[in-house]
Amino acid sequence: MSHVNQDDTLLEINQDSRLSLSKLNQESRQPEIIQDSRLSALNLNQDSSLNSCFHDFSSSAEDQYSLDSSRLSGAAHFSGVSVGGPHFSSFYSDPPPFDLDYYVALHNRVYSLGQPNLLGARLSVPSSLNLSLWRSLLTGYSDEVVCDFLEFGWPIGYDYSGFLPSSDFRNHGGALDFPSAVDSYLSTEIALGSVCGPFVSNPFSAPFAVSPLNSVPKPDTTERRFILDLSWPEGSSVNDGISNDVYLGGPVSLTYPTVDDIADRIIQLGPGCLLFKRDLKRAYRQLPVDPFDYPLLGYSWRDRLFFDVRLPMGLRCAAMSCQRVTNAICFMLSQAGCDVLSYLDDFIGISVPHTAYDHYSSSGSLLQALGLQESSHKACPPSTQVTCLGVLSDTINFTMFSRLSGVEYIKNSRNRRVRICCL
């Protein structure tokens, strides 16, 4: 039987189907993540076959997982075996194309090399993105490595040389008070290939961390936005092990567009120019996680375990990753003569009237060609009045208005910086 110490916050790998809910003794020594020497003995030949779904986790590491080339191409499907109990029976009515064994095998192979997938195994992760087009259109781009992150997964930037994160199986009120919404959310995310689960014990060779689920209401709708609280518990969370200033050994230098940037472009093009918007659907969930980091993105619901394989809301590096992706798309559009800004998943275009509709159409076509899903109901065709970054811009009257602020007039000067003043 392979297991972690019961003083740990992490889950036991044991023979029975019950969860080990042992809690961390906060005063105890945090264990280090050490690569198991048995990993080198895993059968990781891509010509071999994966074991049957939901393999007996108590068997030896050498016997458990292998990667199959047909699985890597997405040919195989979930076997239909359910371990989730009655609450999850509907999860597999439309089974996802990749199952638990696949993702565990992918993690094990990447983890065995001791470095991010991009730098080691370089195994392509499941994706609907047109990566050949991404690479073609970003040739020579200053942040061309984005293509590798999209193919091999975004490392979350956790410092494994430090502490192991604490786990907490207690979800927040935003999840506990809306159980049906959580069930629906997990069902959807599993079907879309963003979440792997449910399962009953740690399937990985590496320790598995559990963070609380939470949700908040979305504006102007009855739907809820779900968050994996990777900042809990404070001081020993997953996010506490991720730097704000350094990513993969290099400095994080990322800026986001502001209302001033929009005003400058309006001033440059003059009164009557047109603005348009496009928006990515589930933007973070279209970006894959590095398989090395899967065990850090776990959570618990109805006494079952799950982990994310796409960037979750609540991960410290998720916004940075998303912004780098949309910046890259803006670069592609700029090469075609389209002036578009991006703020995370929002695209804001500014153009003169005789090209605005072409630019609006081209931006939508590009998103589709890249394999990205757009939130079509949020798209805004070219207009002289468009709300961007919470501010209504009027290019006829040269004004900008915010519900929380007053009206500021955009003066016809390229040196003018618009400032929205609170009343």
Question: CA nearest 2: which of 84, 62, 52, 48?
Answer: 62
Report whether the peptide linkage leading into residue 126 is cis, meaning its omega lies within 30 degrees of zero. Answer: no
Do residues 186 and 326 both lie within one domain?
no
Contact 15, 58 (CB under 8 A): yes
| Total count of residues recorded for the chain | 423
Mean pLDDT computed over 281-288: 97
Q: Is residue 139 part of a domain?
A: no
pLDDT digits over 6-50, tens only? 333 333 323 232 222 222 222 222 323 222 222 222 222 223 222
* Domains held by the chain: number: 2
Tokens of 78: 């979930």
Q: Is residue 3 part of a domain?
A: no
Q: Parallel, antiparallel, or unpaired for β 224-228 and 391-394?
A: unpaired
Do residues 326 and 311 both lie within one domain?
no
Do residues 267 and 166 both lie within one domain?
no
Do residues 166 and 187 both lie within one domain?
yes
What are the angstrom distances between the C-alpha of 133 and each of 106, 197, 366, 371? 25, 32, 10, 9
Assign 208 a pLDDT band (cuts: 50, 70, 90).
Answer: very high
Q: Any idea what the Cα angle at residue 191 is, between residues 282 and 153, rounded to 5°?
A: 55
- Whether the per-residue pLDDT at 404 is higher than 50: the answer is yes
Do residues 208 and 63 both lie within one domain?
yes
- Whether the per-residue pLDDT at 73 is higher than 50: the answer is no
Mean pLDDT computed over 181-209: 95
Assign 321 a pLDDT band (cuts: 50, 70, 90).
Answer: very high
Q: Is residue 115 part of a domain?
A: yes
Q: How far apart are CA 139 and CA 154, in angstroms?
A: 20
- Whether the per-residue pLDDT at 238 is higher than 60: the answer is yes
Determine the pLDDT at residue 56. Answer: 28
Do residues 311 and 327 both lie within one domain?
no
Determine the pLDDT at residue 405. Answer: 60
Q: Is residue 149 part of a domain?
A: no
**What domain range includes position 363?**
259-282+322-409
Do residues 200 and 343 both lie within one domain?
no
Determine the pLDDT at residue 254. Answer: 85
Q: Break the chain down into helix, strand, coil percent, rounded to 5.
A: 30, 15, 55
Q: Is residue 132 part of a domain?
A: no
pLDDT: which is higher, 165 or 34: 165
Determine the pLDDT at residue 85. Answer: 34
Do residues 389 and 305 both lie within one domain?
no
Tokens of 176: 């506990």
Assign 346 a pLDDT band (cuts: 50, 70, 90).
Answer: very high
The pTM for the full model equals 0.77
Q: Is residue 177 part of a domain?
A: yes
Task: Residue 207: give its domain's CATH number.
Answer: 3.10.10.10
- Whether the per-residue pLDDT at 77 is higher than 70: the answer is no
Q: Is residue 42 part of a domain?
A: yes
Biggest alpha carbon–alpha carbon distance for the chain = 74
Do residues 362 and 299 both lie within one domain?
no
Determine the pLDDT at residue 222. Answer: 86
Do residues 271 and 367 both lie within one domain?
yes
Mean pLDDT computed over 210-228: 94
Assign 320 a pLDDT band (cuts: 50, 70, 90).
Answer: very high
Tokens of 83: 């371990």
Do residues 306 and 360 both lie within one domain?
no
Question: CA nearest 112: which of 104, 59, 74, 161?
Answer: 104
Contact 348, 340 (CB under 8 A): yes
- Whether the per-residue pLDDT at 230 is higher than 60: the answer is yes
Handedness of CA 242, 248, 251, 252 (dihedral sign): negative
Contact 238, 321 (CB under 8 A): no
Task: Residue 366: give its domain's CATH number.
Answer: 3.30.70.270
DSSP assignment of 105-151: HHHHHHHHTTS-TTTTT-PPPP--S-HHHHHHHTTT-TTTTHHHHHH
pLDDT digits over 85-132, tens only? 333 333 333 445 678 899 999 999 999 999 999 999 999 999 999 999
Helix H segments across 177-282?
179-191, 259-269
Mean pLDDT computed over 371-378: 95
Tokens of 124: 């392509």
Q: Is residue 228 part of a domain?
A: yes
Taking each helix axis as running N to C, give the angle between helix 318-335 and helix 353-370, from 0 to 180 degrees, rounded to the nearest 10.
Answer: 130
Do residues 305 and 353 both lie within one domain?
no
Q: How confident is the prediction for the chain on average, in pLDDT?
A: 78
Determine the pLDDT at residue 342. Answer: 98
Mean pLDDT computed over 207-214: 97
